[in-house]
């Protein structure tokens, strides 16, 4: 994954593609050949700020993201290799880059991520940045949990978070929904 940083969200419409997954329909969004968002069916308005989207299922990075997500959900892929662009503040981008270091099947606490980015006192800010991660699943914000192993908020909902964590840990994941 090659993240591109220090950019602001584009002002034009962006190509998008919706794909089916075990956790619901996911909308993939691209900008200039890079994946910029993986959105949930009931994503909270404003969580990820994007210009209008238009359907473009053959956009190369969206087609590749769909292939890699299908392989992930089939248990054949543990890492994503996609060109990414992060649209957010410098602090948010630091958090999102740290999320990419959490190995498949493992979890980290918000405090651990805060310490990793040399902002140990910014646990709440890490939580807020985690909640605004525009690249769900690909940038694994679902692997971040509260202290003591407690499941906390997730853009896709706690049921989806539990499904993804169970799936990655090799435990039978209950049917989603």
Please give the tally of structural domains in the chain: 2
Q: Active site residue: 141, 145, 160, 164, which one?
A: 141
What is the C-alpha separation between 2 and 5, in angstroms, rounded?
10
Domain containing residue 72? 2-84
Residues 15 and 78 in one domain: yes
pLDDT in tens, 19-45: 999 999 999 999 999 999 999 998 887
- Over range 90-112, report the average pLDDT: 95
CA angle 155, 8, 14 (to 5 degrees): 70
Report pLDDT for 141: 95
Boundary of a domain, candidates 21, 49, 84: 84
* Residue 99 belongs to domain with CATH number: 1.10.10.10
pTM of the predicted model as reported, rounded to 2 decimal places: 0.89
Report pLDDT for 149: 80
* Residue 116, domain member (yes or no): yes
Residues 74 and 122 in one domain: no
165 is catalytic: no
* Residue 175, domain member (yes or no): no
pLDDT in tens, 117-129: 998 888 999 999 9
Residues 74 and 42 in one domain: yes
Please name which of 1, 88, 92, 83 lies closest in space to residue 50, comparing C-alpha atoms: 88
């Amino acid at each position: 994954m090659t993240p591109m940083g220090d950019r602001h969200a584009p002002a034009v419409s962006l190509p998008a593609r919706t794909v089916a997954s075990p956790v619901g329909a996911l909308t993939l969004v691209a900008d200039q050949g890079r994946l910029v968002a993986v959105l949930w069916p009931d994503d909270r308005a404003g969580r990820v700020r994007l210009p209008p989207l238009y359907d473009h299922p053959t956009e190369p990075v969206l087609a590749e993201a769909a292939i890699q997500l299908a392989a992930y959900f089939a248990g054949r892929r543990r890492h994503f290799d996609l060109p990414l662009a992060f649209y957010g503040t410098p602090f948010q981008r630091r958090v999102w880059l740290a999320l990419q270091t959490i190995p498949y099947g493992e979890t980290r606490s918000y405090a651990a991520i805060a310490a990793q980015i040399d902002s140990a006192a910014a646990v709440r800010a890490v939580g807020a940045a985690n909640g605004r991660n525009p690249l769900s699943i690909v940038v694994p914000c679902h692997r971040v949990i509260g202290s003591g192993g407690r499941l906390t908020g997730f853009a896709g909902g706690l049921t989806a978070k539990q499904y993804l964590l169970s799936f990655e840990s090799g435990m039978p994941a209950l049917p989603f929904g």
